[in-house]
Copies of this chain bind each other. A is one copy, B any other.
């Protein structure tokens, strides 16, 4: 699939539709979003931490990390955003972001002005609700990451991350849960799990040896899904993948 604004918006619609009910009219309103496509190199900052923003970044292709930084410039990735995710959708209601966004690999994004997102949210209550719910879903992922980093061993922690990304790529129809592309370096994997790249390397080796996961050349392969889920203590419910019945706003 050649990256284009349309393909990216289609992924975005799909992501929203996983959890929210959108009418055809809602969907086509989203498809009419205009933004500017930008391609950035690996490691480039998309949003500098602490800067006010007036647009959101829809990931078209590649991988984006949301991160927080310390005074000693160590950093922690708090969420990974795959194609179809709008990394800083929350900034629509809170433009002075306390977080940063960085490309983890060569990445294409579609920059969408907040003004436009606010307009379609205001005109389409179901979209506003979908945006809200989407923020809650990301929030739930952060929350799970706190558990991951706070209460799991390095081994389990990394296994859990591979499970999470497997399900998310599968949902986004960008791979099978047992085989998907995750273009991330071990250093970034370390920043995502609160470890060092040296230790990540050792853990990946053990995951390989125990035939649970091979992660090489940006591709993740999981020979035995159930086995991995078992060691990772993985329960996908935090991804909030159920279509949520309640409609806050009645149909327009």
Contact = CB atoms under 8 A, between A and B. Distances in A.
Interface of A: 19, 50, 66-72, 74-76, 78-79, 90, 92-96, 98-99, 114, 118, 121-122, 125, 128-129, 131-133, 135-140, 142-147, 149-152, 193-194, 233, 235, 237-240, 242, 244-246, 248-250
A240 B95 CA distance: 10
A121 B248 contact: yes
Given A128-B248, A149-B149, A194-B149, A136 B99 contact: no
A248 B93 CA distance: 7
A250 B121 CA distance: 11
Contacts of A78: 142-143, 146-147
Contacts of A68: 143-144, 146-147, 151, 238
Nearest to A89: B136
A69 B135 CA distance: 22
B140 A249 contact: no
Contacts of A240: 94, 96, 98
A143 B96 CA distance: 15
Contacts of A246: 92-93, 95, 114, 118
